[in-house]
Structure 1
């Protein structure tokens, strides 16, 4: 798998605050929040906003993009053939560390045209889809077990007209028909600590495989480990049922997590809401019990500083969000799918709704929320965090990022990607590409753990926190020094404490996500629990991503 250098963009503090505040709906800029003592306990602290920052000098905030590693691999080393981690799908590790993936597998089939009124003349809906399952030991090479549950293509042959390929036959000797059509890791991403409720999932059955097929069964469950439906005949009996629970009425198989006493999900707002506002936006649904849902509320509109020219009309296509940090001081990080739509030709419209435009490419930016997804602000201005491929036939011309999987000191982002434009058919029904259809697959990008934003000092710099209280006796840094990092622990009036000054600190010169800080005096921090204290980080040619008391 070929590597690609990470894209990094430096942002000064004033620009960061101004641009971050520009897209908040229903909340003031974070810079205006009154300073007070922050109780951070022993939770990890990142620097994506100024929630914990009093002042900085000589440093710049820097956005770090993940390193693209290319398409996943089939078990024999070939590039991943087809299938993408989309709404409701997941890549995760079970309690033993093995990788599991549910993904959307689909193929074109013009015969579905008359199976449902919602399909009709819009050829973009002439396909079949189902949930497939694969597993892996290394997270890169994937084995597809034969499930024998659903008829699917046993191969494809080339033809000269749409859809440019057709199944060579149908059989059940495949990995299709996974009964779990929605699953999320609540412990990793949903702000739920209970190990008995690690996974939230839905087991469902549909009447057919076309996109508007009727739902016949739907049951929601919790699970403490990966539900091994492929190998354990009694897997269903080991799950904890959630009577009468449902997904949101949006129709997308998404639940973001639990916060402030309610479940919520964020995704593309319903078409009936955004179509009259000039383009796609992000909405939010909420529920106290996974049974009764309210919404959608518009929580992320496209602001005025985005391009709105016919050749580049920005829409917010979708957003996948997950919890970063702990339950007390953490936040929700949104992977915003930004759609650069092309409106220069009426052929780029949806044939059954001329207010919907389909041509364009997507990229991913970062957003964050500290109020359970009710308001969002930018992370790193409008910098692209996960870009699309620059070549016309590149494997990820469209990118849809999903929640990460922790692997050692890294976060692995498995993302859905397409090797072509979002436009599949012109409004008159002809194909946009004259000799092929775009294919959806799954790719991997890798980021340092919690390495989204760092304070960077090219020479000397200082980062000072607001007064805070903490739990624990030790301080560890997520840092990458070319020179060193020193830390001073000060009282609430900003005076260094005895034995814990900058000059007392042993320079941190090791690159790592949890590097301990020590002082020559041998002083410990246990007596300072309950504080308040301030921290001053002295950077000498170093990058500081975050810190934690432990």
Structure 2
């Protein structure tokens, strides 16, 4: 038997996914990411840089049955019982899917490390009347079935923990299906459930918004319309209309850019969107007015404090296309993100060497990318020393932890009062310089001075960077505005958190 094929047992064990679960910090710890300057009131000789995920070469996976996974939309989770990783993906096969376009056959793969995948032989466990591949898990459809996205629902009953959304094209309007599973091997169609009555081209993704207390789906509003809308459900049976437009290309994007999709991931009080940018060619006329053939796609980052109102920063790719001939030179579309034990992130995407619409047999891959913890964006010194200063922070206790890369340079911190006056013992000169690379660096001052000793009062942190990058600041604090500082000083009113702001 091909060594890319594994025999599947009837019971795959309990499954816990890092992809679908909310990413949270411990206790009351708050995380500041530096997408913008909202929490700052000082910035000198500092530039903002979008992070850069790195392709993991050994992860490049081509469907062993010969299918084209260019639009494979991988859904990855981890089985903590066995310690193995599992992946649902799709690939196109001649005579079975729409023009071998990368959609159609939904399959299961498994890996010991989440990088080197093997197809799972499902023939004994899953009886399908129209089986195309040895690792197929869903039946084919009467129309053209395209996997649209997957989600691990940690709030659901165990037998519906895993969810797949599929679009069935070829009818007017297109239909949508919801499939559920306990193990990723045996799937059940949820009869009568249609998450979008006129389902668009894939992708559609889901997550749970803790602030709204509802599941939120991101999708396109209509077939052929390349914008992103949000809609909601409480029970996975009834859904609000897909009418909340949250993301569209604008004048800061390259000419003729369109937005193809946006999976959303809760991340320590933030919501991170991985935006698929389709850079359309101006010369396309063969499918006019629909721009289809040619052009590359990459992945940029969007962010939100409440998961409903979205912003974008510098228009630089978080996941860039590779060089010509690379497996991700043409199209790159990320659909899963998992957090590893060391805090670093792994992003899974479907890719192709060819440009959009030029899908050839033998092209189309699933690829993993590595990103450091909090590596979406950073503040970086711009030649010589630079300084970052926070707004007043009501410090509730404990120490600060900074995610800093300072190899070849250094970083240090001083503490001031809300007016910027340095506190005795907390100056830059009293702080030990940090010249390493850590996600949890805790500043240390001479004479045993600590931030914990300043609990119960408003302070500011000033960070000095020299040939260094700051990715995040963590601590037990509340970011204050001027009025809150005044109320505390005059009346002793202790400010509370305002989630979503």
Shift of 1:343: 4.5
Q: Does 1:376 find its partner at 2:305? A: no
Q: Does 1:145 find its partner at 2:120? A: yes
Match of 2:266 among 323, 326, 329: 323
Change in 2 beyond 3 A, CA 1:256/1:85: farther
Q: Is the 8 A contact 1:267 1:319 kept in 2?
A: yes
Q: Does 1:401 find its partner at 2:387? A: no
Match of 2:79 among 86, 94, 103: 94
Change in 2 beyond 3 A, CA 1:356/1:377: same
Q: What's the secondary structure of 1:339's corresponding residue?
A: strand
Which residue number in structure 2 is paired with residue 538 of structure 1? 464
Q: What is the distance in 2 between the residues matched to 1:419 and 1:57?
A: 42
Match of 2:245 among 285, 298, 311: 298
Q: Is the 8 A contact 1:102 1:178 kept in 2?
A: no
Q: What is the distance in 2 between the residues matched to 1:181 and 1:394?
A: 22
Q: What's the secondary structure of 1:521's corresponding residue?
A: helix
Q: What is the distance in 1 between the residues matched to 2:428 and 2:326?
A: 53
Cα offsets for 1:207-234 (capped at 9, x unmatched)? xx9876998984658xxxxx4354xx9x
Q: Is the 8 A contact 1:45 1:546 kept in 2?
A: yes
Q: Does 1:184 find its partner at 2:151? A: yes
User: Cα RMSD between the aligned structures?
Assistant: 4.0
Shift of 1:314: 1.5
Which residue number in structure 1 is paired with residue 207 of structure 2? 256
Which residue number in structure 2 is paired with residue 454 of structure 1? 378
Change in 2 beyond 3 A, CA 1:44/1:526: same
Q: Is the 8 A contact 1:505 1:518 kept in 2?
A: yes
Q: Is the 8 A contact 2:73 2:335 kept in 1?
A: no
Change in 2 beyond 3 A, CA 1:500/1:440: same
Q: What's the secondary structure of 2:263's corresponding residue?
A: strand
Q: What is the distance in 2 between the residues matched to 1:198 and 1:541?
A: 51
Which residue number in structure 1 is paired with residue 423 of structure 2? 497
Which residue number in structure 2 is paired with residue 201 of structure 1? 162
Superposition pairs of residues 378-393 of structure 1, within 5 angstroms: 378-379=312-313, 381-391=314-324
Shift of 1:68: 1.6
Match of 1:423 among 350, 357, 360: 357
Q: Is the 8 A contact 1:220 1:245 kept in 2?
A: no
Change in 2 beyond 3 A, CA 1:302/1:127: closer
Q: Is the 8 A contact 2:411 2:433 kept in 1?
A: yes
Shift of 1:396: 3.9
Q: What's the secondary structure of 2:249's corresponding residue?
A: coil
Q: What is the distance in 2 between the residues matched to 1:216 and 1:336?
A: 22
Which residue number in structure 2 is paired with residue 477 of structure 1? 402
Which residue number in structure 2 is paired with residue 44 of structure 1? 31
Change in 2 beyond 3 A, CA 1:106/1:442: same
Shift of 1:132: 1.1
Which residue number in structure 1 is paired with residue 95 of structure 2? 109
Gaps of 5+ in 1: 1-39, 113-122, 154-169, 188-193, 222-226, 275-279, 425-432
Change in 2 beyond 3 A, CA 1:437/1:383: same
Q: Is the 8 A contact 1:404 1:411 kept in 2?
A: yes
Shift of 1:371: 3.4
Change in 2 beyond 3 A, CA 1:78/1:437: closer
Match of 2:183 among 220, 228, 249: 228
Cα offsets for 1:33-54 (capped at 9, x unmatched)? xxxxxxx941222111112111
Change in 2 beyond 3 A, CA 1:459/1:134: same
Change in 2 beyond 3 A, CA 1:305/1:459: closer
Q: What is the distance in 1 between the residues matched to 2:184 and 2:214?
A: 30
Q: Does 1:332 find its partner at 2:271? A: yes
Shift of 1:495: 2.3
Shift of 1:511: 0.9
Match of 1:314 among 231, 234, 257: 257
Q: Does 1:367 find its partner at 2:302? A: yes
Q: What's the secondary structure of 2:427's corresponding residue?
A: coil
Gaps of 5+ in 2: 1-26, 140-146, 477-501
Change in 2 beyond 3 A, CA 1:543/1:343: closer
Change in 2 beyond 3 A, CA 1:522/1:470: same
Change in 2 beyond 3 A, CA 1:355/1:451: closer
Change in 2 beyond 3 A, CA 1:548/1:334: same
